[in-house]
Amino acid sequence: MANTTFGGIIRSTGDNKKTSSAGSAQLAIKFRFAHDSNGAAVVKDANDSTAVVLPAGAIVDAVYCKAALNAGTWDLGVKDFDGGADITDIDAFVDGAANNLNSMINAATSTIPGARMLDQQTYSEQATVTATVTGAASGNVYGVIYYHLDDNGNNS
């Protein structure tokens, strides 16, 4: 199977007649961070230390996580990719999650103890995903961020 990477918004009308409204496809990206993360960029996985960066126009829909920390809590958020200060929210996606949380977090599950997803927002520029861990001496958190790109829904 071929892998294809391109700089566009994936969308579909579903019926190939252009009579249905075009909808954005959901995308997913893996992430990992360690117990000693303190506002550091989240990486793709244990074998790839590339920072996880969301594209401009991204809207995060949900985060699946598997936390295996020995104690404490953790946050998942974003910082400005280009080093500016216009995008900085250290707990935009997950705020105060429990050290052993294994769950899907979205706006509907914000009542899970130790999990909260803030209001969905569109990022006007690239955003680096960050993590902050409090009170853990060992362990890692793994997961998947599900997002889509802001799209006007017009057929093309």
Distance in angstroms (rounded) separating the CA atoms of residues 115 and 107: 10
Instruction: Examine residue 67 and state whether it is found in any structural domain, yes or no.
Output: yes
pLDDT in tens, the chain (156 residues): 666 666 666 666 666 666 766 677 888 999 999 988 887 789 999 899 999 999 988 888 888 889 898 998 888 889 989 888 888 888 888 888 888 888 887 766 655 555 556 556 778 889 999 999 988 889 999 999 998 887 766 655
Question: Does some domain include residue 91?
Answer: yes
State whether residue 150 is helix, strand or coil: coil
CATH of the domain at 74: 2.60.120
Q: Is residue 7 part of a domain?
A: no
d(CA 2, CA 107): 34
73 within a domain of the structure (yes/no): yes
pLDDT score for 87: 82
Specify the pLDDT at position 99: 86
Instruction: Write out the residue range of the structural domain in which residue 131 sits.
Output: 26-149
* Extended strands (E) in 35-123: 38-41, 43-45, 48-51, 53-54, 58-69, 73-80, 88-98, 102-105
Per the domain annotation, does 49 fall within a domain?
Answer: yes
Residue 65 is assigned to a structural domain of this protein: yes
8 found inside a domain: no
- The domain total for the chain is 1
pLDDT of residue 61: 85
The pLDDT assigned to 136 comes to 86
Q: Is 82 a domain residue?
A: yes
Q: What is the model's pTM? A: 0.83
